[in-house]
Chain A
Amino acid sequence: MDSARLLSQIPNERAIPPARLGTIFKTFFIAGAISFGGGVVAYLREYVVNAHKWFDDESFLDALELSETLPGLNSVNISVIIGDRLRGVRGAASAVAGLLMPGMIVVMALGVVWSEQRDNPYLRAALIGVAASAVGLLTTVTLQLGHRQFTRLADVVFIAATFAAVSLIKLPLVAVLLTLGPVAIWYYRPPAHPAPSTQHFHHLRERFQSHRAHWRH
């Protein structure tokens, strides 16, 4: 395969006729406007899989898995993938623009007001409370996302090593990712003689279990 073929748009037989760019923008705009505290992906699934039927559950999980493995925000990554699958580059741009626009407007308005009032003791106290509450929120999300990893010894070792390197030894993130990342990937390297059918089955089953946490938000 030549490089042009490799990078051409991925066919999506579900969306025929193709989704309109305006519809893509509007759908992601609504998801971006009503989701708070990291629940964006669950809203997107509701609209993309259930309402518009652009993706089935299986392709949505494929996209979500890749979004989580790639760097950057998962919600932005999955918007790029879904938008691209629907309408190529312009679809991806419409999806990301829609997703980010409501939050950008609100966050900038808050930022301007806060810049004027940032030493106000009442505002500062309220923001400390918001941050403390966010600690509880992040703890719950991390435990839900990692529930499978927390029960497997090798994964617990990788989790502890990562935490220690970043939070206790305070190594730069680049160094941590370039050392622990390859070690962990090598640990899970494919076996020399795989049994394709059962492995595929286990992979699928594990996948559905690991993603159940997302739908709860």
Chain B
Amino acid sequence: MAGKLWSLGWVFALLSLLAVGGGTAVLPEMERLVVHHFHWMGDKQFRDIYSLGQVAPGPNMLMVMIIGYRLAGAAGAAVVAVAFFLPDCIVTFVVNRLWYRVAQSRWGLAVQRGLAPVAIGLMLSGTYALARLSIFNLAGLAIAAITCAILSWRRVNPLFLVSAGGLVYLIYAIQ
């Protein structure tokens, strides 16, 4: 048990520090470690947990707590939450204060502009990883395409869209 908590802790601390471009960017690495490396759960459970994060408020990546809960109960959830958020908060806190005084430099701009396309590439990889887990027929593809079209067209609360997506696929699956 203690060994599992320790593994959960360092895996999610590592993931948060690698998340250049936010939570989506780190999704393929999370799947690689959680599903394929440690075999903590199957890829279908991983996908279902990700979906739960979509229907909860706040940052979607809070769903990492369910991974911890699934593996080691309430203690697992707590360890994952601390590991995923605390190291990153400390890094941000320190770098923000240093940045303000030291790094308003031309190299700061180079870092921003250089990391921006890498972050976009990682977000594409995250989207692709989720697509491979959730789209295996025309119904799934249609739900993704219609969500994309509606959001590009106008402002809609994403909660309505993902809930509608879930309902539509449920009706499709029952038939």
Interface residues of A (CB under 8 A from B): 1, 5-10, 32-40, 63, 65-77, 80-81, 84, 89, 92, 96, 99-100, 102-104, 106-108, 110-112, 114-115, 118, 121-122, 124-143, 145-146, 149-150, 154-156, 158-163, 166-167, 170, 172-174, 177, 180-181, 184-190, 194, 199, 203, 216-217
Interface residues of B (CB under 8 A from A): 16-24, 26, 28-29, 32, 44-45, 47-63, 65-66, 69-70, 77, 81, 85, 88-89, 91-102, 105-107, 109-131, 133-135, 139-141, 143-149, 151-152, 155, 157-159, 161-170, 172-174
Partner pick for B111 among A9, A69, A143, CB 8 A cutoff: A69
Task: Report yes or no: B54 in contact with A134, Cβ–Cβ below 8 A.
Answer: yes
Q: Contacts A73-B59, A96-B89, A184-B118: A135 and B166 contacting too (C-beta < 8 A)?
A: no
Task: Report yes or no: A189 in contact with B110, Cβ–Cβ below 8 A.
Answer: yes
Task: Report yes or no: A34 in contact with B162, Cβ–Cβ below 8 A.
Answer: no
Task: Report yes or no: A36 in contact with B16, Cβ–Cβ below 8 A.
Answer: no
For A28, the closest partner residue in chain B by CB is B58
Partner pick for B115 among A133, A174, A184, CB 8 A cutoff: A184
21 contacts between A and B (CB under 8 A): A36-B162, A37-B157, A38-B158, A100-B62, A107-B65, A110-B66, A112-B69, A114-B66, A126-B169, A126-B170, A128-B169, A129-B140, A131-B133, A131-B134, A135-B134, A143-B152, A146-B117, A149-B117, A173-B18, A185-B111, A190-B107
Q: Which residues of B contact A143 (CB under 8 A)?
A: 152
Task: Report yes or no: B123 in contact with A145, Cβ–Cβ below 8 A.
Answer: yes
DSSP class of A's interface residues: helix, strand, loop or mixed? helix
Chain A min CB distance to B91 (Å): 7
Q: Contacts A72-B19, A107-B56, A129-B170: A135 and B89 contacting too (C-beta < 8 A)?
A: no
For B28, the closest partner residue in chain A by CB is A166
For B88, the closest partner residue in chain A by CB is A72
Partner pick for A166 among B102, B122, B162, CB 8 A cutoff: B122
For B150, the closest partner residue in chain A by CB is A136
Task: Report yes or no: A100 in contact with B59, Cβ–Cβ below 8 A.
Answer: yes
Task: Report yes or no: A8 in contact with B97, Cβ–Cβ below 8 A.
Answer: yes
User: What CA separation (Å) do A104 and B114 show in the bound complex?
Assistant: 33
Chain A min CB distance to B108 (Å): 8
Task: Report yes or no: A135 in contact with B144, Cβ–Cβ below 8 A.
Answer: yes
